Amino acid sequence: MATLRIEGGRRLSGRVSVEGNKNSALPLLAACLLTDRPCEITNVPRIRDVEVLIDLLEDLGASVEGRGTATVRVVCERISGDRPDPVLVGKLRGSVLLLGPLLARYGSARLAPPGGDFPARRTIATHLQALHAMGATALDEPGHALEARGGLHGTSIYLDEASVTGTETALLAAAAARGRTEIRHAAMEPHVVELCEFLRRMGVAIEGEGTTTIGVEPPPRLGGACHRLRGDYIEAGSWGVVAAITGGEIEVTGARALDIEVIAAPLRKMGVRCAYEDNRFTVEPSQLTATRRITTSLWPGFPSDMVSLVTVLATQADGRTLVHDWLYELRLFALEQLSAMRADLFLCDPHRIIVSGPTKLKGRSLDSRDLRSGMALIAAALAAEGETRIAPLETVERGYASLVDRLRGLGAQVERVP
């Protein structure tokens, strides 16, 4: 494992271009298993999570070209088995997206417990609910073992929660089922819409993407598809926070203004001088002020993936801010480490934290427990006095490509230490 050594207190400025949306890349790659025809995805982010999913695809019999580049081509003429490598599955929560394609192509799926952030507290009950509704039955085996002897069939599904990967699991299964499926209480995030667009190119008739009800009518046979991923708006917002917390300025290109809007709105309430248009997001030196409350919500509300970053930003804002993440219980716990950096925090409960600022942060050793809070701690270290060490760096590299080089390009004094 590697450690990121940061010498803080420098103003970061410059330009960054984001790659494709990580949360779109994973379900689209999984969708390639639905067909024996060639599929091509461009603007693929060169990150660890994508590498792990490509390893899983190859383990299941797919031929993959373009690994480590922005263009990935996948051909899966046959599925070689129904049990993805448990070690790889344990590294990636997105491996749950393989359940639908495996049931459709192989008739069964045996998946070890998926890893990723907070695996013990993030269930896949909604995913399993959708698959059971389409005819999959559970097997008395460890992990998540399912079979669909007679194939999957279309049906009407009301999801227990508007889970993003739960909706994507239902879409992937419905795309290869017999008959029409209607998914209600569906997630509306941009990456769900991108999956629908990709499946439509494969020949699936889809209506209602971007709303809470999605209709899916599969073709007799799925074809290949080509798709260019839209830019990662979470990554774009992350770089914006990095600039704002260090008093710098940045221009981020590659993400749609429509997606950036939900991130920029609360940043502006905190005094961040930012603008977004076309594929350009800019942040200028700002006087940060506290806002009464920031609350995460389902799309098009403020995304939970940004909550750790705005919490760190609030440590440098004048006044008191309540940050409320009602979606996940453990994200905010990772930020308790900021107290040792002299941040003024009060963790009310697993979902709410009160931040008072501004406080001058002091560097120290930190633990990157999950992807998003890891990036938030890096932002805190960049604004802090002295040296900070954050490990393991690989946790953050799951979602941020060429992280060290990009930070240096903005003027940060950082070093990757083996």
Told to judge if 117 belongs to the known catalytic residues of this protein, a careful annotator would answer yes
| Cα 191 to Cα 172: distance, rounded to the nearest angstrom | 13
Asked if residue 119 lies in contact with residue 93, where contact means CB atoms within 8 angstroms, the answer is: yes
Q: 324: part of which helix (H) or strand (E)? A: strand 319-324
- CA-CA-CA-CA torsion for 395, 410, 413, 357, nearest 10 degrees? -80
| Cα 279 to Cα 256: distance, rounded to the nearest angstrom | 5
Catalytic residue among 55, 117, 259, 325: 117
Read off the tokens for 38: 């060639």
Kindly state the greatest CA–CA separation across the chain.
63
Residue 114 backbone dihedrals phi, psi, to 5 degrees: -65, 150
Q: Strand runs (DSSP E) across 76-128, as ranges? A: 108-111
- CB burial string 343-367: b at 16+ within 10 A, e below: bebeeeeebbbbbbbbeebebbebe
Q: 371-383 vs 307-314: helix axis angle to the nearest 10?
A: 20
Burial class (CB in 10 A: 0-12, 13-18, 19+), 122: middle
In angstroms, the first-to-last Cα distance of the chain is 7
Q: 307-314 vs 257-269: helix axis angle to the nearest 10?
A: 30
Q: 40: part of which helix (H) or strand (E)? A: strand 39-42
Query: Hey, which residues are catalytic here?
Result: 117
